[in-house]
């Protein structure tokens, strides 16, 4: 799964995706559920399909949601179920996105208790998670965009830490992920997930990261041995 991550800085996103960000954002070192975080989606421009960065709530709320309480456990979508489960199906077909990240956190139970680890690519400045987004109208009539991060079975190198990991998309897959998919949604998703992107490493960090209010570079500093 992915329950916390480090988001990207604006300049890197603009450079890597060749976009201009209209609403500035900064790196968030301890991105947590319900926060408004930068997400990349396709938008219709004068010259055709373009990309834009938009801050969305982490925790997907489907457009058809009508219950008084917001849905729970929607920060992650299992890639094995996304094509068929009502919570994710429409978003997979019509509204996929990229979630810029520097890395993510995972907690492992050890003799000393739950220890947080920071996972990031070796020799790379960052990565992009495969995401799904939706737009929901709240009781006040305001549109609320939200997103979820797709997950998959962990790679062999990360399995000792956790049995799940985010779906990380390589640059060659970004255009297809954001482009319209008229049909074969399950097949196309499976093809994206089959490409296991990344050469990751991880190390323990301080329990300072346990509280979402704690931010800054201290979150990713290696824990003292």
Q: What is the mean pLDDT of residues 36-56?
A: 80
* 86-94 vs 185-194: helix crossing angle, rounded to 10: 80
| pTM score above 0.85 | yes
Q: What is the mean pLDDT of residues 64-74?
A: 90
The percent of residues above 70 in pLDDT, for the chain, comes to 96
Give the chain's end-to-end CA distance (angstroms, integer): 26
Q: Which residues contact 24 (CB under 8 A, 6 or more apart)?
A: 10
Is residue 81 within 8 Å of residue 88, measured between CB atoms?
yes
* 185-194 vs 171-178: helix crossing angle, rounded to 10: 170
Mean pLDDT of the chain, nearest integer = 91
Task: Annotate 78-89 with three-state secondary structure.
Answer: ECCCCCCCHHHH
Backbone angles phi, psi at 56, to 5 degrees: -130, 155
With left for phi above 0 and alpha for psi between -120 and 50, is residue 80 left, alpha or beta? alpha
pLDDT at position 30 over 50: yes
Q: Which residues contact 22 (CB under 8 A, 6 or more apart)?
A: 52, 53
From CA 163, how far away is CA 147, in angstroms rounded? 22
Which pLDDT score, from 0 to 100, does residue 46 have? Answer: 41
pLDDT at position 48 over 80: no
User: Side-chain half-sphere of 195: how many Cα atoms within 13 Å?
Assistant: 15
Is residue 169 within 8 Å of residue 185, measured between CB atoms?
no
């Amino acid at each position: 799964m992915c329950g916390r991550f480090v988001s990207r800085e604006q300049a890197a996103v603009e450079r890597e995706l060749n976009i201009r960000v209209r609403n500035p954002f900064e790196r968030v070192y301890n991105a947590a559920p319900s926060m408004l975080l930068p997400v990349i989606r396709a938008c219709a421009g004068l010259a055709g399909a373009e990309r834009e960065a938009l801050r969305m709530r982490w925790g997907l709320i489907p457009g058809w949601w009508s219950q008084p309480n917001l849905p729970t456990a929607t920060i992650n979508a299992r890639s094995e179920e996304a094509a068929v489960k009502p919570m994710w199906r429409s978003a997979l077909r019509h509204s996929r996105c990229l979630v810029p990240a520097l890395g993510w956190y995972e907690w492992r139970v050890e003799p000393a208790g739950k220890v947080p680890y920071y996972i990031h690519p070796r020799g790379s400045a960052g990565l992009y998670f495969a995401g799904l987004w939706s737009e929901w109208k709240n009781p006040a009539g305001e549109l609320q965009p939200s997103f979820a991060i797709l997950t998959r079975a962990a790679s062999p190198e990360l399995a000792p830490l956790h049995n799940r990991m985010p779906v990380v998309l390589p640059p060659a897959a970004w255009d297809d992920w954001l482009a319209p998919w008229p049909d074969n949604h399950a097949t196309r998703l499976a093809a994206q997930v089959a490409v296991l992107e990344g050469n990751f490493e991880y190390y323990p960090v301080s329990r300072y990261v346990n509280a979402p209010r704690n931010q800054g570079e201290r979150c990713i500093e290696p824990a003292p041995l």
